[in-house]
């Protein structure tokens, strides 16, 4: 393997790891949403179904930034345009 290609591969692996730092944001956000949902269920247990579906919907939308990080990491690992 050429030296430059080896360097690019190593840097891509490090970059993929760095891209997954994006997972922190959705983790915090979804935890916050779940906490608020638990609070809401505690206050109004009869609306549990509505609260759960709203929370899941919001969580999945909030997840998208993390998914972008994941897609970048997967591109770097499996379909690297730089090599």
Partner 1 sequence: MNAPIPAPQVSGPQIFFTIPILGGIHITETIVNGWLVVAIISLVCFFLGRNLSTRNPSRRQIAVEKLVSMLSNLLQETMGKNNMFFLPYIGALFAYSMLSSLLGLTGLRAPTGDLNTTIGFALIAFFLIQFFNIKNKGFFGWLKGFSEPVFFLTPLNIISEIANPISMAFRHFGNIASGIVITSLIYYALASVSRLLIGWIPVIGSIPILQVGIPAFLSIYFDVFTSFLQAYIISMLTMVYVGGANEAQSE
70 is a site residue for partner 1 (CB under 8 A): yes
Considering only 9-17, 29-37, 39-47, 67-75, which stretch makes contact with partner 1 by CB under 8 A?
67-75
Considering only 7-15, 32-40, 41-49, 74-82, which stretch makes contact with partner 1 by CB under 8 A?
74-82
Among 1, 79, 81, 83, binds partner 1 (CB under 8 A): 79
What does the block give as tokens for 70?
């994941």
Asked if 19 and 73 count as a contact pair (C-beta separation under 8 A), the reply is yes
- Region for residue 16 given its phi and psi (left: phi exceeds 0; alpha: psi -120 to 50; beta: otherwise): alpha
């Amino acid at each position: 393997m050429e030296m430059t290609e080896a360097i690019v591969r190593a840097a891509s692996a490090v970059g993929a790891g760095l891209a997954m730092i994006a997972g922190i944001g959705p983790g915090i956000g979804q935890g916050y949403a779940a906490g608020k949902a638990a609070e809401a269920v505690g206050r109004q247990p009869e609306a549990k179904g509505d609260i759960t579906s709203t929370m899941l919907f919001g969580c999945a939308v909030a997840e998208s930034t993390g998914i972008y990080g994941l897609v970048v990491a997967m591109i770097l690992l499996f379909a690297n345009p730089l090599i």
